[in-house]
Structure 1
Amino acid sequence: MKKTLIVFIVVLTSNILSAQFIKEKSINALIGLGISVPYNSMDDVADRGLLLQGELVLKVTSWFELRPYAGMIITNSNGKDLNNNPTNEKAESKAFLLGGKARLRAPIPWVAPYLELGIGASIGKFETFTYYDYSDKGGIIYHIPIAFGLELGKNNNVDLGFTYYSQPSVKQFVGAMAVGITFPL
């Protein structure tokens, strides 16, 4: 399953890059305050870190884009919950992210809202420890990226949004409130 997913993403990305229906190509660089949250928790646990991501933006129409991406997320537990109380629960991720997303956007100058959905793989180490779940895995797992936000500026080249990755096999969400800049190719 893991090897099949990686081969599928690579083949899909290589075929899309040479497709004639692509109108424009650009690169989007994102940075954000990373967070990892367990699915089930008695305490309000949200471990913090950093998200870095690069996306190849393939504009199909003014309202639809394909976005293969690669990035990394690193989150660590400080032993406290959101109310600054001590807790034994945690959700940590140290992973490389790889996959593809589709973005639907309103083609409005200056402020264009968007929604993204896709599929990808996380490669790294994941630990979720709550009163309900315990997962300590390393290797490759699948994730489902979900993002929403605004493209800002005259050419919509500044991205301000929330990007999250649901990782069901380790029972946690990772993501960030991120800022991105798009550079045309």
Structure 2
Amino acid sequence: MKKILIVIIVVLASNIVSAQFVKEKSINAIIGYGISVPYNSLDDVADSGIYFQGELVLKVRSWFELRPYAGLILTSSNGKDLNNNPTDEKAESKAFLLGGKARLRAPIPWVAPYLELGIGASIGKFETFTYYDYIDKGGIIYHIPFAFGLELGKNNNVDLGFTYYSQPSVKQFVGAMAVGITIPLKK
């Protein structure tokens, strides 16, 4: 199942890149403050780290874009909950992210809100230790990316947003508050 998912994503991404309906292509480089949160916990746990991602932006319409992506999330626990109390609960991810998203955006200069949804795979090490769950897993799992934010600037080339990846098989969310810059590619 995991190998089939990766093959499908790669085939779709390669077909989209060469498609005639793509009006513009660009690269979006993103960096942010990464977090990982368990689905279920007694304590308010959110482990922190760093997030990097690169996207190939394929503009189909002024309001619709396809975005194959590759990224990295690295989070670790400091042994405390959000109230700074000691806890044994944690949700850590050290993973490479790969997949595709579709972005719906309001085509407004200077401030354009957007919403993204997609599917992808996380490859790495995942730990979710709570009162309810004890998961220590490595390998490939699927994730569902969801993001929202604003594209800023005259040409909407600065991206300020919140991006999340639901990872059901390890019962955690990972995500980031992130800033990105979009660089147009020449035809």
Whether these two folds match at TM > 0.5 is: yes
- Paired with 1:18 and 1:69, the residues of 2 have a C-alpha distance of 16
Partner of 2:72: 72
Identity %: 89
- Alpha-carbon deviation of 1:38? 0.1
Matched, 1:12 2:28: no
What does residue 170 of structure 1 align with? Answer: 170
Displacement after TM superposition at 1:141 (Å)? 0.1
**Post-superposition offset of 1:134:** 1.1
In structure 2, distance between residues paired with 1:119 and 1:33: 22
Counterparts in 2 of 1:18-167, with a 5 A limit? 18-167=18-167
**Deviation of the 1:107 alpha carbon:** 0.2
- What code does the residue aligned with 2:145 have? P
Q: Which runs of 4+ in 1 moved over 6 A?
A: none
Deviation string, structure 1 residues 95-130 (Cα, Å, up to 9, x no partner) = 000000000000000000000000000000000000
SS of aligned partner of 2:84? coil
The one-letter code of the counterpart of 1:176 is: A
Root-mean-square deviation (CA, aligned residues, Å) is 0.3
Count of residues in Structure 1 that have an aligned counterpart in Structure 2: 185
Q: Within 1, Cα distance between the matches of 2:18 and 2:68? A: 14
Q: CA deviation at 1:184?
A: 0.2
Query: Unpaired segments of 5 or more residues in structure 2?
Result: none
TM-score between the two structures when normalised by the length of structure 2: 0.99
Per-residue deviation, residues 5-45 of structure 1 (Å, max 9, x unmatched): 00000000000011000000000000000000000010000
The offset of 1:87, in angstroms, is 0.2
SS in 2 for 1:97: strand
